[in-house]
Amino acid sequence: MNAPRRPGRWKVWTRTLHIYASLLGLVLTTFFGVTGFVLNHEAWFAQETVRRLATGQLPAEVAKELEPLAVVEAVRAEFGLSGGLSAYEVDPEELRLRFERPGEVSDVVVARPGGALELSQEREGTWAALTDLHTGKRSGTLGRRLIDATAILLLTISLSGFVLWLTLPKRRRAGLAALVAAGGLTGVALLYLFM
The per-residue pLDDT for 182 is 83
Q: Mean pLDDT across the stretch 25-34?
A: 90
**82 near 66, Cβ under 8 Å?**
no
Q: Name the 3-class secondary structure at 121.
A: strand
The per-residue pLDDT for 95 is 94
The per-residue pLDDT for 172 is 75
Residue 3 has pLDDT above 60, yes or no: no
Residue 72 has pLDDT above 90, yes or no: yes
Angle at 182 between CA 165 and CA 25, to 5 degrees: 60
pLDDT digits (tens, 9 = 90+) for 84-100: 999 999 999 999 999 99
Mean pLDDT for all residues in the chain: 88
The per-residue pLDDT for 11 is 84
The per-residue pLDDT for 193 is 81
Residue 7 has pLDDT above 70, yes or no: no
Q: Which of 16-25, 80-89, 173-182 has the lowest mean pLDDT?
A: 173-182
Comparison of pLDDT for 166 and 119, the residue scoring more? 119
* Phi, psi at 47, each rounded to 5°: -115, 155
The per-residue pLDDT for 156 is 93
Helices (H), 41-85: 42-45, 60-65, 68-79
